[in-house]
Amino acid sequence: MSENITTKILETSFAKNDLNNPLSMPVYNTAAYEFATAEEMEAAFIGKSAFHTYTRISNPTVEFFEKRVQQASGAMGVTAVSSGMAAISNVFMTLAFSGANIVTTSHLFGNTFSVLQFTLANFGVEVRFCDLLNLDEVEKNIDENTALVFTEVITNPHLEVVDLKALSDLTRKKQVPLVVDTTVVPWCAFKSRDFGANIEVVSSTKYISGGATSIGGLILDHGNFDWSHSKRLTFEANKFGSMAFHAKLRGEIFRNFGACMSPQTAYQQTLGLETMELRFNQAANTGLELAQWLETLPEVKKVSHNSLESNPFYAISAMQFGKVGTAMFTFELADKAACYAFMNKLKLIRRATNLFDNKSLIIHPLSTIYGTFSPEMKEKVGISDTLLRFSTGLEHVEDLKSDILQALR
């Protein structure tokens, strides 16, 4: 079998029970499934047969998408959910418990920070924000009630990169699962399992959806953690061994919270996967070229891109993600007014949130993603009001440069 990610995605097959012999997986837009007999129905409901029962629990189109993701990512267990946030909250609900703590950083995607800072506190889960780049500090924060350590592989929009190998050596020693959000680096550039991550969450809204077609999320279990050390999963660890997390998630949490992916979304994102590597390579190379060029412009105060040699995370990024690991970067202008004036003059580049659309997107994070945060919370997330985040699309690099120049000057 090929090692190429796109070949693996394309060769994934599905059972053809359909008389029309479709080449693409059909969209099974159905809530429920019919049984010939009560006995067959019982077998499906208690998991003794592979038949689907109800689409909140499983659906053939969604299952096919999960199978392709498994091919592409190398994960042992894959669950598709309704959004990246659903992926993150389902993982927290599977591992955390009242009295538990989560060790992470405050430099995170805005909604993820919000779940940790505001939502989980009401359920008796303590969140310990620390500097994940400082492993001594991480080690001091882990204790017997630590349910998980969480990080983004490139923090959005701070663009910090932790040394995952070193962090996972520590979490393994401490017998705590390491959960990573890999949304901004696709599997063709990086596989988190190779660096010791145990659970991976992805917003499939981004690279996977195929041009911002739909909202979706993924939870990947790499099957490489000894769950007998998890206070929450002792029962499942006995019964399912290394797949205890996936078993708890699928058998209880995911179906109870009900954030399933719709079949229509699974269809769109299955197609998106087919072109992910192509789109990523194009956008990532354009993004790096733009970042290098922006560094030469006097109006631009600072450019942060993980694959620029000037970046403090250049070496670790190159080691983990290769030549270029993401199509996202940030840059700074003189002040907020300069940022707004620049944004308002752009013609090709769109003023929009989201990442990895086929169109290039720009946003002023502090006034939007963090716009409703109190001054203290803004301080805590530490984003400057001179900062713009750029998500590179598929436009020609020279056209993007022209648009930027006419808006700057």
Q: Given the rule CB under 6 A, which residues bind ligand PLP?
A: 83-85, 109, 111-112, 152, 156, 181, 183-184, 203, 205-206, 215, 217, 355
CA-nearest of 96, 142, 138 to 119 is 96
Q: How far is the CB of 84 from ligand PLP (least distance, A)?
A: 2
For the sheet containing 387-391, what is the strand order?
302-304, 328-332, 387-391, 361-363, 350-351
Residue number, 72 or 159, with CB nearest to ligand PLP: 159
| Alpha carbon distance 177, 236 (integer Å) | 15
| Alpha carbon distance 334, 299 (integer Å) | 7
Q: How far is the CB of 349 from ligand PLP (least distance, A)?
A: 19
- Where b means 16+ CB within 10 Å and e means fewer, 112-151 reads bbbbbbeebeeeebbbbbbebbeeeebeebbeeebbbbbb
Is 121:100 a contact under the CB 8 Å cutoff? no
Residue number, 75 or 355, with CB nearest to ligand PLP: 355
Residue number, 177 or 216, with CB nearest to ligand PLP: 216
Residue number, 185 or 243, with CB nearest to ligand PLP: 185
Pair of tokens at residue 117: 């800072």
By Cβ distance, which residue is nearest to ligand PLP?
A: 84
Residue number, 95 or 369, with CB nearest to ligand PLP: 369
DSSP 71: H
Q: How far is the CB of 336 from ligand PLP (least distance, A)?
A: 23
Q: How far is the CB of 395 from ligand PLP (least distance, A)?
A: 21
Q: How far is the CB of 304 from ligand PLP (least distance, A)?
A: 16
Pair of tokens at residue 293: 């060029």
Is 236:32 a contact under the CB 8 Å cutoff? no
Instruction: Taking the CA atoms of 148, 149, 154 and 159 in sequence, report the sign of the dihedral they define.
Output: positive
Q: How far is the CB of 153 from ligand PLP (least distance, A)?
A: 9
Residue 29 CB neighbour total at 10 angstroms: 12
Return the SS3 of 303.
strand
| Alpha carbon distance 265, 279 (integer Å) | 19
Q: How far is the CB of 306 from ligand PLP (least distance, A)?
A: 14
Q: How far is the CB of 110 from ligand PLP (least distance, A)?
A: 9
Residue number, 179 or 333, with CB nearest to ligand PLP: 179
| Alpha carbon distance 399, 349 (integer Å) | 10
Residue 326 φ/ψ, nearest 5 degrees: -155, 160
Residue number, 59 or 183, with CB nearest to ligand PLP: 183
Q: How far is the CB of 154 from ligand PLP (least distance, A)?
A: 8
Residue number, 109 or 227, with CB nearest to ligand PLP: 109
Residue number, 112 or 146, with CB nearest to ligand PLP: 112
Residue number, 183 or 230, with CB nearest to ligand PLP: 183
Q: How far is the CB of 260 from ligand PLP (least distance, A)?
A: 14
CA dihedral 194, 197, 200, 203 (to 10 degrees): -80
Is 388:329 a contact under the CB 8 Å cutoff? no
